[in-house]
Amino acid sequence: MQQSKITIDVKLSPDKVPQEILWNASASSAEENQSAKAMMLAFWDGQEKTALRIDLWTKEMMVDEMGDFFYQTIMTMADSYNRATHQTELVNDMKKFAADFYKKSRELLDKK
């Protein structure tokens, strides 16, 4: 069985605010750590029936980028849900929500 290891390093300020997020994967072709302004990681605990999550972002993450990040995350979650369940009606609802969310996030930015 093939195995891959994903490593995430988070550099924190003295106030424990993420300053830098670096990650790498052993199966990746990238030789150096990859930098990220934000991350979302979720695990499903089947025994407890709960999602365990880690959401982090650096102070460099701008509000418009956060809107893009959430839009893209919701869209990829919809694609994953579709592959897992083939429930296209729910997938379409998720994608419609994502599009509405993105449009409203842009409208709010334009008002500032």
User: Could you read off the pLDDT tens digit of each residue along the chain, which spans 112 residues?
Assistant: 889 999 999 999 999 999 999 999 998 888 899 999 999 999 999 999 999 999 999 999 999 999 999 999 999 999 999 999 999 999 999 999 999 999 999 999 998 7
pTM of this structure: 0.89
Closest CA to 112 of 71, 59, 62, 58: 62
Looking at this protein, which amino acid is placed at residue 43? F
Element (H, E) at 14: none
Give the residue extent of every domain in the chain.
1-59, 62-112
- DSSP letters for 7-62: EEEEEE-TT--EEEEEEEETTSS--SPEEESEEEEEEEETTTTEEEEEEEE-TT--
